[in-house]
Amino acid sequence: MELHCPDCGSIVYSRRSPKCGVCGKPLPESFRFSPEEAARYEEQLRIAKEGLDQAVAENREIEEQTRERLREVQRRSNSIFPPPFM
C-alpha cells in the first residue's frame, strides 16, 4: 500500500513519523502505525539487525581464516622457493 502526503503528494516513506518527510506537514493519524503494528515493526527490525550482525561476524571470521591460510601458503612457498638475494 503506497501512501501519499495529502498536502504535497509525496510518497510517505515512514509510517512511524507524524510528519511528512518532504513538506513537514502533519500526516493523518490513519497513516501511522498502530501501537501493535509499531511493536511488530520494531521486533522485525531487531531480528533483522541481529541476523545482520551475526552475518558480519561470520564474514569477519571467514576473512581472518582466509588471511591465515594465505599467510601459511606464503610461508610454505618461501621455504621451498626462497626469495632471491639482491
pTM, entire model: 0.53
pLDDT in tens, 27-62: 999 999 999 999 999 999 999 999 999 999 999 999
User: Is residue 5 packed enough to be buried (19+ CB in 10 Å), middle (13-18) or exposed (0-12)?
Assistant: buried
Residue 9 has pLDDT above 80, yes or no: yes
pLDDT at 83 over 90: no
pLDDT of 86 strictly over 70: no
- Computed over every residue of the chain, the mean pLDDT equals 91
Core vs surface per residue 6-25: b (16+ CB within 10 A) or e: eeeeeebeeeeeeebeeeee
- Compute CA distances 41 → 29, 34, 54, 58, whole Å: 17, 10, 20, 26
Asked whether the predicted pLDDT for residue 23 surpasses 90, the reply is: yes
